[in-house]
Amino acid sequence: MVEDVVAYLRQHSLLLATAESCTAGRIVALLAEVPGSGALVECGYVVYSPEAKQRLLGVKRETIDTFNLTSVEVATEMALGALRDSPANIAVATTGLCGTEDVDGIPAGTVCFAWAFILGGREQVFTRREKFSGDREALQHQAALHALGLVPFFHQRMVSGDLPM
């Protein structure tokens, strides 16, 4: 599946940036396993702390305080921050709980995603909140695959103008 995403990125001249929290760089690591994928990855941020999310990606403190770190709102600001800080035309962000304990009433395994695109001067963000199961490694792997797997789907929605979602 990762090979298919790499082929899709190449075919559509997409340059990717990632902003990963709970997936800890797994999205970029999965891509790096595919020969030639380095030309399609601009950068990857791994940001755990609220301060790093704010400093490196421009996530607003108010957004964190209002919606929690595990939220599509924070994922959206992470993706937009990565997109705006690079020449990439797509950014994928993950934030969530890949441990086995619930936190602040949020179930373990909850991951929030954002896919941000800038094409032809238009910016669009798509978000999802999903729940995965398993141990930490399995959760991270599932979330990273999910993030990559939906790149073509959301890119097609962006291109076709079939918005919002």
Contact 143, 96 (CB under 8 A): yes
Q: Using CA atoms, how far apart are residues 145 and 141, in angstroms rounded to an integer?
A: 6
pLDDT on residue 164 = 56
Is 119 a domain residue? yes
Q: pLDDT value at position 158?
A: 87
**pLDDT of amino acid 27:** 97
Tokens of 123: 């910016």
**What are the pLDDT digits (tens) for 96-136?**
998 888 888 889 899 999 999 998 888 999 999 999 999 99
Number of domains in the chain: 1
Q: Domain residues for 131?
A: 2-160
142 within some domain: yes
pLDDT at 59: 98
The reply to whether 84 falls in a domain is yes
Smallest CA-to-CA distance from 113 within 55, 165, 60, 43 is with 165
Residue type present at position 157: R
The DSSP bridge pattern shows strands 16-20 and 41-46 to be parallel
pLDDT at 119: 85
Tokens of 159: 């291109």
Q: Is residue 123 part of a domain?
A: yes
The CATH number given to whatever domain includes residue 14 is 3.90.950.20
Per-residue tokens: 99: 């441990």
pTM of this prediction? 0.94
Surface-to-core class of residue 95, CB atoms within 10 Å of its CB (0-12 exposed, 13-18 middle, 19+ buried): buried
Residues of the chain where predicted confidence (pLDDT) is lower than 50: none
